[in-house]
Chain A
Amino acid sequence: MPQVSMTVNGRPIKADVEGRTLLVQLLREKLGLTGTHVGCDTSQCGACVVHVDGKSAKSCTLLAAQLDGANITTIEGLAGADGKLHPMQEAFRDNHGLQCGFCTPGMVMSAVDLAKTNPNASEHEIREWLEGNICRCTGYHNIVKSIQAGAAAMQAAK
């Protein structure tokens, strides 16, 4: 059984995993980080999106063993140590960008990557970026608004 070491939300961890263990299984089942969700089994819904070395990725489509030495950030690691919400989290709250909350962690992690990659994304670009994140509750209207506001707040905070 391979052993992996990685940094998760700033904390070094070590774990024994099977070859087939997915990153999301490591996060949820071994590390108790249940904020990252699994909404499908075809790598399409995006509820499981985390950051791997600063880039968004689907934790259901990565083997834990692949990520030896990687730096992982999950939704639990986004807010400040003092509990202060990340500007993107704040924007989702201000703009009612979530309802049931299940797609939300992946949506927020994907949105943060977009705001870093393309800080001034248009509505059209935001909608295209969200191709890999499915939400059934909001109709995306308020998610788009949230991401616009969150991206602006991230820029202002720089």
Chain B
Amino acid sequence: MGADGIGAAVRRKEDVRFLTGRGTYTDDISRHGQTHAYIVRSSQPHAAIKRIDTSKALAAPGVVAVFTGADMAADGVGGLPCGWLIKNKDGSPMKEPAHPPLVVDRVRHVGDQVAVVIAETKAQAKDAAELVEIDFEPLPAVVDSLDALKAAAPQVHGDAAPGNLCYDWELGDKAAVDAAFAKAHKVAKIDLFNNRLIPNAMEPRAATGDYDPASGDYTLYTTSQNPHVIRLLMGAFVLHIPESKLRVYAPDVGGGFGSKIYHYAEEAIVTWAAGKLKRPVRWTADRSESFMSDAHGRDHHSHAELALDKDGKFLALRVATVANMGAYLSTFASCIPTYLYATLLAGVYTTPAIYAEVKAVFTNTVPVDAYRGAGRPEATFLIERLVDIAAKEMGMDRVEIRRRNFIPTDAFPYQTPVALQYDSGDYFSTLEQAQKTADWTGFEARRAEAKKRGKLRGIGVSTYLEACGIAPSNIAGALGARAGLYEAATVRVHPTGSVTILTGSHSHGQGHETTFAQVVAETLGIGIDQIDVVHGDTNKIPFGMGTYGSRSLAVGGTAIVKALDKVVNKAKKIAAHLLEASVNDIEFKDGKFTVVGTDKSKTFGEIALTAYVPHNYPLEELEPGLEENAFYDPKNFTFPGGCHIAEVEIDPDTGVTKVVNFTAVDDVGRVINPMIVEGQVQGGVAQGIGQALLENCVYDKSGQLITGSYMDYAMPRADDLPSIGVATHVTLCTHNPLGVKGCGEVGAIGSPPAVINAVVDALKDHGVTHMDMPASPQKVWSVINGARRMAAE
């Protein structure tokens, strides 16, 4: 390993610009002659639009244009597409109601886009937006997905989705599961609601459309995790712009967590409007708009049952889930509660039979899509809560029942009953390491000490598994994916030996500019200061799928490795020529090409120069230059896993729960930069603790969003969180050359059940067996108070 190669905790290359205010986020970009857009949004949860009068707004100072859905429809603008087709149990396709960028005659959630006002300044646009008159005819609204399935429920899409049902899907062997339940010794059951969350990347979404009338070229600057996906969806399906005429540039992006994967209405609106007005059109969300227009996450109602034999072995798992899609299908909404959820229900256990059915439902709420973890946190929370309940039913220790059902470390590759084949893992080691770090055996003494101080202390464990780098494309395609799932990279070696990497992955906090450079440094034996990583601009980078699902290193990193292999192979041929040796005798190590067994060598820089100044060069056999591309389509998912242990203390007088200790031991495969991995896990855990104790998106019955700002939506702050202890225990991924698995989401996946299991443990003397998230002070106090009252009566 070089000083900054694989495994080194290298300081990040991107940090200096962020620390000195020289980052370039979308809203930092000003275009000459730009206008400012403000979106007029629905104040109504569900209403027919009788009339829109834009005349007063048009007459307001500085206003350039006001457009409505009718204007976009007249131009043939298409609806926002969904990227994954799910089939019903009977094989019929899911319902895909139209999702126009600006609505035409009906709004379906508070925040739905009704019109756009474009003016010389943002303040003028906002002032004029108040003058757009909309006659709403309010319609009854439905918020909760279970309510939406009821016979008399308001219909969000009428005949386009009867009964508000998007799809009714299943996975697994129902007959085998039924048979296993019939002979079960005990059955553990749970009903739970996985709370709805609002992602809240700190940078609000922004988009600027630009159009060059001379060339006919469009440019969209946008806060995206995957600019090529946006170019494809918006160009092909919404605005019908050839991809050669459309550049999508996602510069520095201030956090995504899934919420910036999707193609949003505003991107299409500003691009289309820029073409109409022949001027740049700039839009940036106010945070209040983010709350009502960024795709939300989670929102599952589930009932699950686990059949056990007399030894506590899991015989079968049965799960029924209702997933809230919100008012429209967001870009990848349909695959989250299916292929990223039900396929994960085996977890780390040998449960031989699993059957899951999932109903996806439309409601008058903001669309729901992937949020950090995307399906896997929902599966993990369900399993890990159910296993704790099973332990109680069986009178078994929570850790022992897990160990008894773990997939043995020598059983890989392991085929689950829900489609996935795990390649590697060692759940015993991560559990043992976490228990040791968390001093599991010393807990009862800490509980007793806390009791003396009047506090209720509990400890909870979660042993989890997740799946990253969704692939391969052909299998995903057979399951309904409407896009490829590969990644692309270009390695461009410059004449004097420095290197530019052009990657389809996108970094919005993950530190790719450093991690990817470390991979290159390790391979080429050059320093990371000689390596630059370019991402985000479709005019520069190869067609890539971007960053989501913790795929960047496993898929994007592998594409870089594949391209590097090609570079090294070609460089060896050049070296062989220069050194007058057979290419088979050339060894490349530490940045030097050496004829094996001799001291004859050439440096990487010398080879690079020769490639571009090919005076002494085998031009008949080899092209000049040193630049290679690779596309990599993985053979399988990767499967990170591990163990999280949370220790909480509850103040019974107020119900306040504090996480006092948190231990994460994760198997994320090979670690390229331990500093960055640790940061990724800590950030994920913070979001997991946020979900477990604080965060909750709330609508009132009428469909108004109650948690529409940080005044009401509880974001985790520094004093809400503990120090987060992170360690890794590595087993290598067997099917990518780096052996990497992914670390972006493990924190958010493993931690919520660990926290809630700890809360339930702390409250076990109060008759508590389950608590839905968030375990807010009020909720915890109500439980304690209820138990006290019962005891008093």
Contact = CB atoms under 8 A, between A and B. Distances in A.
Is there any pair of Cβ atoms, one from A and one from B, under 8 angstroms apart in the complex?
Answer: yes
Is the contact region of chain A dominated by helix, strand, or loop, or is it mixed? loop
Nearest to A138: B683
A102 B719 contact: no
A41 B285 CA distance: 10
Interface in B651-675: 675
Contacts of A144: 718, 723
7 shortest interchain CB distances as A-B pairs: A35-B21, A102-B254, A101-B18, A139-B686, A100-B509, A99-B509, A75-B21
Interface residues of B, number: 57
Interface in A38-97: 38-42, 44-45, 47, 74-76, 78-79, 85, 89, 92-94, 96
A23 interface: no
Nearest to A99: B509
Contacts of B11: 93-94, 96
Given A99-B255, A134-B202, A141-B724, A92 B21 contact: no
27 contacts: A35-B20, A35-B21, A39-B202, A40-B710, A45-B202, A45-B287, A76-B22, A78-B20, A85-B16, A93-B15, A93-B16, A94-B11, A96-B675, A99-B511, A99-B683, A105-B21, A130-B719, A131-B717, A133-B718, A134-B715, A138-B686, A139-B682, A139-B683, A139-B684, A139-B687, A141-B682, A143-B718
Given A85-B20, A92-B15, 16 more contacts: A35-B21, A35-B23, A36-B21, A45-B287, A75-B19, A76-B21, A78-B20, A93-B19, A94-B11, A102-B202, A130-B718, A135-B718, A136-B200, A136-B202, A136-B255, A137-B509
A135 B202 contact: yes
A38 B22 CA distance: 15
Contacts of A103: 202, 254
Contacts of A104: 18-19
A130 B718 CA distance: 6
A39 B204 contact: yes
Contacts of B125: none
Given A35-B22, A130-B718, A134-B715, A93 B203 contact: no
A96 B678 contact: yes
A93 B15 CA distance: 6
A44 B710 contact: yes
Interface in B1-47: 11-12, 14-25, 27-28
Contacts of A141: 682, 686, 721, 723-724
A47 B17 CA distance: 16
Interface residues of A, number: 55
B508 interface: yes
Contacts of B25: 34, 37, 102
A130 B686 contact: no
Contact of B28 (A34, A76, A85, A140): A34
Contacts of B21: 33-36, 74-76, 105
Contacts of B24: 34
| Interface residues of chain B: helix, strand, loop or mixed (majority) | loop
A41 B510 CA distance: 26
A45 B14 CA distance: 23
Contact of A138 (B18, B123, B679): B679
A139 B255 contact: no
B717 A134 contact: yes
A42 B710 contact: yes
Nearest to B673: A96
B202 A100 contact: yes
Given A35-B21, A76-B20, A138-B683, A99 B286 contact: no
Contact of A98 (B19, B253, B288, B678): B19
B173 to A, nearest CB: 40
Given A42-B709, A139-B686, A141-B682, A100 B203 contact: yes
A129 to B, nearest CB: 8
A85 B19 contact: yes
A89 B17 CA distance: 11
Contacts of A74: 21
B685 interface: yes
Interface in B668-717: 675-676, 678-680, 682-687, 709-711, 715-717
A134 B510 contact: no
Interface in B245-276: 252-255, 257
